[in-house]
Amino acid sequence: MSILCPTDFSAASGAAADVAAALAQRLNVPLRLLHCASDWIPAGEVIVPLSDEGMIRRQLEKEADRLRGGGELEIRLEPRSGIPYQEIVASAVFERPELLVIGSTGRGRAERWLIGSVAERVAERAPVPTLVVREPDALLSWLRTGSDLRLLCAVDRTVSAGAALTELASLKALGGLQIEAASIGTGRSADYAGDPETRQRDIWERLRETIGEAPVQVHVRDQPGDAVAAFLDIAGERKVNLLVVGSHQRQGWERLKAPSFSRGVLTHAHHNVLCVPAEAVAPSGTEAGTSLPRVERILLATKFAENWPDAVRTALALLPDGGRVHLVHVCPEPKRGLNPLVASAVYFDHCLETVRDREEAERKFRELPESCTNIPGVRLTSEVMVNDEVAGTVCDLAERMGADLICLETRGVSKAGALLGSTVLGVLSKAHKPVLLVPPPLP
């Protein structure tokens, strides 16, 4: 157990180190002070070695003495060289700290390695909660004098938001909090459904399950297309000191498919930001990765094979009170023909087929037997989607809604194709969630 704090010896990173030292003292854990120097810098056409571990260590020792202030705080020095954000993340992976604390506007000497996006890159890749310090005074006052800290937590139904809520329990143990939560409706499957009062009630219940009884103010707004702006507007209106957001930590093409809310907040906020990765937080009393998973939300993708009601009943049987099964059927997307002379006719035929498929799916969802639809304490919802990439659509929806499990039936062939074939294999190969396959009953 430790607090990890990278520094470039600038005033901004020094302020972040003050916060990290206060946290380490409050938690009675060591502070790991890390500095990463570039291996070299270009000087004209000559590559000049820059890293001097002896000099770096002396600077770290001087900073450590300042942070101790004559006290007995245990500080471990970590001089490194390489690409800064990669070395910081590697250190967090090698020995997982309780928290990573980093400044976001520091400027060191020649390498200036904390400028700009380094703090954001670390927060998006580190396997532990990362506190990006931009306004240290409020955090230091909270930790040193016992004043309350006003925070705003982003809440939806995703796993990453659940991780952020779980981290609130750890913050409560450090000092007084004035907790506010914001739910921004954007039209996604991960949003809380219903009128504002219903959404507020659902969020209060989730907060109570996570952090216990505590006064919480919940803000519910609808702003399709720009959840980050709405969230930051609330933060400005409420004059909060800390923003708490979860992160899926998507990279590469995954980020292009689903714009990152946490990255938007990290980029545009002027507040302190605590970014919590979805996999970083385990239930109280356990270590990350060792707790038994709890199934509360199941995505059931169906092609309406003969045994699909059995798959629904199986999914419902797995849920506790308050759980949810979301049914989805993916219709094939209409395609234009390759020959432009017949493209319109082919496209028209495919559109009709898709319309018929959609109507048939909606009818089957409505006609589910009461043994599936009237389960006390369990919510059953459904939707029909249109996309050619069935497996990818299912996996993306599972991530957006925060599903704990994907359920598929494995028998039968529909007009859209055999679910037992490429779709199941595609989901198995792409999903980052457990997948349950429900076979047909024995003859």
**Shortest CA distance to 127 belongs to which of 147, 100, 145, 156?**
100
**Given a cut of 60, is residue 50 above it in pLDDT?**
no
375-398: pLDDT as tens digits: 777 888 889 988 888 888 898 888
pLDDT of residue 289: 45
**Given a cut of 80, is residue 400 above it in pLDDT?**
no
All structural domains of the chain, each given as residue ranges with its CATH number in brackets, are 1-111 (3.40.50.620), 148-288 (3.40.50.620), 297-334+360-438 (3.40.50.620)
Q: Is this model's pTM higher than 0.85 or not?
A: no
Of 28-37, 194-203, 346-355, minimum mean pLDDT range: 346-355
pLDDT of residue 108: 41
**Given a cut of 70, is residue 243 above it in pLDDT?**
yes
Of 16-20, 35-39, 201-205, 348-352, minimum mean pLDDT range: 348-352
pLDDT of residue 64: 92
User: Which pair of structure tokens corresponds to residue 50?
Assistant: 């820059």
At residue 120 the predicted structure's pLDDT band, cuts being 50, 70 and 90, is confident
pLDDT of residue 344: 53
Instruction: Note whether 406 and 396 are within 8 A (CB).
Output: no
- Tokens 């490429």 -> residue: 422
Q: Residue 330: which region, alpha, beta or left (left: phi > 0; alpha: psi -120 to 50)?
A: beta
What percent of the chain has a predicted confidence (pLDDT) above 70?
79
301-344: pLDDT as tens digits: 998 888 888 889 889 888 887 788 999 999 877 655 544 544 55
**Shortest CA distance to 230 belongs to which of 241, 216, 243?**
243
At residue 15 the predicted structure's pLDDT band, cuts being 50, 70 and 90, is very high
427-441: pLDDT as tens digits: 888 888 899 998 887
CA distance 307 to 439: 8
10 Å CB burial of residue 300 (0-12, 13-18, 19+) is: buried
**Given a cut of 80, is residue 240 above it in pLDDT?**
yes
Mean pLDDT value across residues 106-134:
70
Q: Between these two residues, 81 and 188, which has the higher pLDDT value?
A: 81
CA distance 356 to 347: 14
Mean pLDDT value across residues 177-199:
72
269-310: pLDDT as tens digits: 889 999 998 876 544 444 444 445 678 889 999 988 888 888
**What is the residue-averaged pLDDT of the chain?**
79
251-267: pLDDT as tens digits: 544 444 556 788 889 88
Q: Between these two residues, 193 and 362, which has the higher pLDDT value?
A: 362
At residue 132 the predicted structure's pLDDT band, cuts being 50, 70 and 90, is very high
DSSP character for 440?
P
pLDDT of residue 183: 87
User: Which pair of structure tokens corresponds to residue 183?
Assistant: 């739910």
CA dihedral sign of residues 391, 394, 396, 398:
negative
Instruction: Note whether 6 and 31 are within 8 A (CB).
Output: no
CA distance 371 to 429: 33
